[in-house]
Structure formats: structure tokens, C-alpha cells
Amino acid sequence: MNESMTITLPVGALEGTAAVFSTWLVEEGDHVRKGDPILELETDKVSMEVCAENDGFIRKILATSGDNVDEKTILGYLNCGEQSELDKVSVDKSSSPVANDASKNVAVAKCDVADDGSKRHLIGPAVRKLLRKHNLNLSSIDGSGKGGRVTRDDILAFIDTRADEDKSHSNTSIPAEKSHGLKSKLVPHTSMRKKIANHMVDSLLHTSPHVTSVFEMDMGRIIEHRKLCKMGFEEAGVKLTFTAYFLAASAKAMQKVPVVNSRFHDDCLEIFEDINIGVGTALGDDGLIVPVVKQVQEKNLFEIASALQQQTDKARQGKLAAADMRDGTFTISNHGVSGSLFATPIIINQPQVAILGIGKLEKRAVVEEVNGEDIIVIRPKCYVSLSIDHRALDAYQTNLFLSHFVEVIENWGTSKTN
């Protein structure tokens, strides 16, 4: 009894949006088991694998690299049937009688019988990213994984070995692929990088007129609060970062100035009830992704810190799903962690209307009045900025939001902010 099923994206994988097909991890005629990764695709924020939903043989491959796909797109066909039908797949792959006999030996009557073939063609996004970044050929790398599958550690070990060899040939130069008189090399853009570039240009030049306001903020109270709570959080398995405080303060400020948590339409401003805050997370040279912590207004500091840790950990491990980056209503860019004092404008993450920027924390000499006298004291300070879509917000709402945000941070734990 022959059964052929279509290969499509799992329902809900993209939440109805489109993605770009990247590559097949299998070939026509390959035997796969339920849960085996069979293809890879990319959105503007994440690279993800799609796994086989049933045991079977890949009967037909339709999608090709660069195709725009969604959950309705038929990517190929999976065959789960009787031996006579599976033999046809093998016959299509080779006209050699010897090859046909070998294929018949591998083909089985039922799809739930394990294959004993190599798994080298099954590679994940992290491995593929390293192969592209270092211009490596998979066939030259030994795999330590099941069935000879090449793992991330195999790639890193190979890179280290090659680096040692390169040191012994210091007089050898690698010609540039395209020099125009200067030594250089071309690094092809990934689909993620292309989509980020388009998203940034569209936001700044084609969609939103950006305006930025900058305030200075004293971090003394949350530094002290974090010292008191950090160990308790860690004992519960949660890392307490300053970013968690920024999410909490943003939610409190947005409850005072709800229009900041909105989306601009030609005929109205859509103000959201839930405050879903995205946090910009850098992936080195590979780009920037924005995992979202949802319903921040319903969470206390511990719950915010826990949810934030889960999302950022998944981001850095390449395990984010499309749903982890959907439905954001506001974004925070904590650019100060890399040493930046302030950045302007920070490009708005469309279709939101504002993005908060947090600069480097540093000790500054400031003048304070004590007992009627001005004295110079050292305080932990940073700049905080809000870049806004001037179609939706004006200076009044922008500065009011920042005033409330700064007030929450500077008075953390007092009755004034409770």
C-alpha cells in the first residue's frame, strides 16, 4: 500500500509569515526517520531547521534555495509505501543494474525500518553558518556525530588545526577574490544580513521620520538593589541583569504614557494592551536578533529576569523559533554593554513607534545640593534615549515617557515607584 505525503512547514512555525528556503539536508531517495532534520530555512531574524513528520523516503524535492515559502507551500514529497514503490525512487537515482540491486537491498517493505546510511548530510544551522563563515568544504571534515554527522565541535577543531598549519606557512599569501588594486576578499551576505539591511533602510528612510531625545540617569538605586537580590536569584537559577530592570521600568512608564506602546496606521494609532518588549541581542558578525519578552506588565522582576534569560539563551544557542520574535510592541537596545555612551538614532523595529537605548554605565562627577550647599559627588550614570516615529509621537510624549522611566530607575524600591 503506497502512501505519499506532502512536505510542508509545520502549522504555526512562521505564524502565517513568509520565509526564504535555504537548503535541503537530504536528497531524493534518502531514508529519514520522524524527527530527522530535512531542510533549513531563514527569516529576517532566525535560521531554523524543519524535521520529518514521519518515517519514509524523500520521493521528490521541489523547493530550491532562495524560494519564498510559507506554511501553504509544498516543498516536496515523502514516500511511505511498499517496497515496489520505494524501489522506483532508487531506480530513478541510478540506471546501473548493480546500483539497482544495492538499492533494493537497502529499500524495505515498511518505512519504520532504520537505514544504515551516512548522516553526514544532516547538518544544523550552527554548522552551516561556520562552513559559510570560514569557507569550508564539508567533505574535508571528519564527523564525530551519529552516522558520521559533522558537529559544531568538529568544525571548530578543524579550524584550529588549519590555523596551526597556516602559522607554519607565514610567507604564503592568499590572493583576493576581487581587489581593484587592493588586497581584499568578498564575504557573501547571508539571507539574515540581507533582510536586516532591507529592514533598517525601510524603517529609517521609507517609513518613519526618526527623532531622538536623550536623558541622563542615575543607576545607584538599582545597583544597590541588584547587589541585595543577585544571590537569591542565582540560587533560583535566574541571572539578574540590569536589562531586567529596564524592561520593568519601560512597562511602568508605558502605563503612564500608553501611546508609546503602539503602532501607526494611516487612519489611526493602534495602542496595545499587552507590553511585549523585544531585546536586541547581538550574534557577533552574524547579525542582530530581537527575542521578545511578552506581557511584561503582568510580571514582577523575578519573572521578567527569568523570561529574559530564557529568550537570550535561546538566541545565542540558535534555538529561537519564529514565535519567540513575533508580536513585539516595543524594543530595548542596551548598546552600552559594548562601550557606547549613546547612539542616535537607534533605528525603530517596525512596525513599532519607539525604541529605547541604554548607554554605558560609568562613574561621573556631578554637582548635588547638600544642606543648601553645592558639592561635587561621584555617581554611577548612563545616558538613556528614546528614538520615536514622529508620525505617531511628539516631543511631549517622548520626554514624558523618559521622565517616568528615569524616575522608576532612580527611585527603585521606594514608595514613590511602588
Q: Which residues are catalytic?
A: 390, 394
CA distances from 387 to 5, 204, 255, 344, 390 (A): 49, 11, 18, 7, 9
Picking from 344, 350, 385, 272, the residue whose alpha carbon sits closest to that of residue 45 is 350
CB contact burial 21-35 (16+ within 10 A = b; e otherwise) = bbebbbebbbbbeee
3 state SS of 323: helix
Distance (Å, whole) CA 56 – CA 35: 11
Element (H, E) at 22: strand 19-24
Strand ranges (E), 330-370: 330-333, 354-358, 362-370
Q: Within 10 A of 165 (CB to CB), how many other CB atoms are there?
A: 9
CA dihedral 258, 222, 417, 254 (to 10 degrees): 0
Eight-class DSSP state of 9: P
Residue 78: name the closest of 107, 108, 58 by CA: 58
Round to the nearest angstrom and report the end-to-end CA distance of the chain: 68
CB atoms within 10 A of CB 359: 22
Pairing status of strand 354-358 against strand 373-389:
antiparallel
Q: CA geometry: angle at 357 spanning 351 and 363, to 5°?
A: 175
